Amino acid sequence: MSAFQNTPTSVRCHALLPCAGTGSRAGTAGPKQYQTVAGLPMVLHTLAAFSAAPRIEQTVLVVAPDDRFLSVDQPDLQLARCGGATRAHSVYNGLDALRAKGAADDDWVLVHDAARCLITPQQIEALISACEGDPVGGLLALKLPDTLKTECEGRVAATVDRSDKWLAQTPQMFRLGMLRSALAAQADSGFAGVTDEASAMEMAGHRPLLVPGSAQNFKVTYPEDFALAEAILSSRT
C-alpha cells in the first residue's frame, strides 16, 4: 500500500488554480482568465464551481507576482502571488503555498485550469469520489470522439487508432507530496515535457486513473471559444 494511501472518510481536498498565464492564443487585450463571460470575469465562474463543491476545503489561486486584478475576502479562498514562467512552475510554487497554509503531503490537491470556466461542482465531486481511494489519483478526461490524423507537410500521413485515446482535462487530483516530488524531478529541466500534472506523474512512474469528464469542460483557448462558453453559461442560469 502506498505511503499516501488514505481512507475516504479522512480525505482532505484542496483546489489549486494556476492563473498566471497571458492567454496569447485567445487574442484578448489582457489575460484571458479575466475576460468577461456571461457577466463575470471567466475565473470567477471557475472559482464559484469550486466554492460550491462540498469536499473542497480551500482553494489557492496562483497569480503572477504583480497581478492585482483580484482582491479576496473569504476564508476558503487564498491568493498566492507566486506564478512562474510556465504552468508547471506555477503549480510547483502553488503546492509550496498550500503547504505554508497548512496542507499536508498526504492531502489531495485538485489542480484546475482557471480558463476551464464550465466545470461544475458535480464533476469535481465525481472526480473526488473516483480517486479518493486510489493510490495514485487521476484526472477528468474525455474519450476521443473524432477521427485522428497525423500530418506531413500539410497533408494526411495516416489515420490513428482512436480506441485508446483520451483528451486530458482538469481537475487533476493527486496527493500533494507525490505531485510535488514528481514536479521537483523535472525542475532542473525547466519542467520540459510537463504539459499537465498527469504527465509529471507518468514521468515518475505512476499511472493516473482516467475519470470520464464532459465535453462542456473545455479550456477557453481561442477567440471563438468565448462565444460558446457564454452560451453554455447563459443556458445554465
Give all strands (DSSP E) within 36-99, no chain letters: 36-37, 40-41, 56-62, 77-80
Mapped to the 3 state alphabet, what secondary structure does 128-157 carry?
HHHHCCCCCEEEEEEECCCCEEEEECCEEE
Long-range contacts of residues 83-89, Cβ cutoff 8 Å, at least 24 apart: 83/18, 83/19, 83/20, 84/20, 86/190, 86/191, 87/18, 87/21, 88/183, 88/186, 88/191, 88/194, 88/200, 89/191
Q: How do the pLDDT tens digits run along the chain, 237 residues long?
A: 333 344 444 679 999 999 987 654 444 557 889 999 999 999 999 999 999 999 999 999 999 999 988 887 678 899 999 999 999 999 999 999 999 999 999 999 999 999 999 999 999 999 999 999 999 999 999 999 999 999 999 999 999 999 999 999 999 999 999 999 999 999 999 999 999 999 999 999 999 999 999 999 999 989 999 999 999 999 997
Q: Which residue has the cell 472559482?
A: 47
Q: Please state, in angstroms and rounded to a whole number, the distance separating the CA atoms of residues 182 and 180.
A: 5
pTM of the model as a whole: 0.91
Cell of 13: 481536498
Cell of 119: 466545470
Bridge partner residues of 166 (DSSP): 143
